[in-house]
């Protein structure tokens, strides 16, 4: 995260905040973790309240216990961070992905 002091090779970091339209159930947690697996060179972290999860772990994402109306912060570090952050936000915002 401190790589912004390096002008020629700035680490690609993107941050988003999402207010959940539905609980972060097993299915969207799985979709987030599948996205993390597809982009395995990039680190995706979710924060909900005082809990933090690496998106690679579907079980850790479920254990966030993030409920409807709560805010989840998404931090993506690595190549294509913006695109990947948008992809994760799309999953979290999509109400029909909640099972």
Partner 1 sequence: MVGIVLISHSSRLAEGAAELVGQIAGNARVVPAGGTDDGRLGTSTERIASAIAAADTGDGVLLLPDMGSSVLSALSLLADLDPAHDGKQIRLADAPFIEGAVAAAVAASGGLDLATVASAAEEARDVRKL
Residues that bind partner 1 (CB under 8 A): 26-27, 29-30, 33-38, 40, 56-60, 62-63, 65, 99
When the beta carbons of 13 and 26 are compared against partner 1, the nearer one is: 26
Closest to partner 1 by CB, 13 or 60 = 60
Residues 6 or more apart whose CB falls under 8 angstroms from that of 72 comprise 17, 18, 20, 24, 46, 47, 48, 64, 66, 92
Q: Nearer to partner 1 by C-beta: 10 or 83?
A: 83
Q: How many CB atoms are located within 10 Å of the residue 1 CB? A: 7
């Amino acid at each position: 995260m401190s790589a912004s002091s390096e002008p020629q090779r700035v680490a690609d970091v993107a941050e988003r905040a999402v207010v959940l339209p539905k609980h972060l159930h097993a299915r969207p947690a799985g979709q987030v973790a599948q996205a993390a697996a597809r982009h395995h060179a990039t680190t995706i972290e979710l924060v909900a309240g005082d809990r933090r999860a690496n998106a690679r772990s579907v079980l850790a994402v479920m254990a966030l216990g993030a409920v409807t109306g709560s805010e989840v912060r998404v931090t993506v570090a690595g190549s294509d961070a913006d695109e990947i952050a948008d992809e994760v936000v799309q999953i979290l915002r999509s109400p029909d992905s909640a099972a």
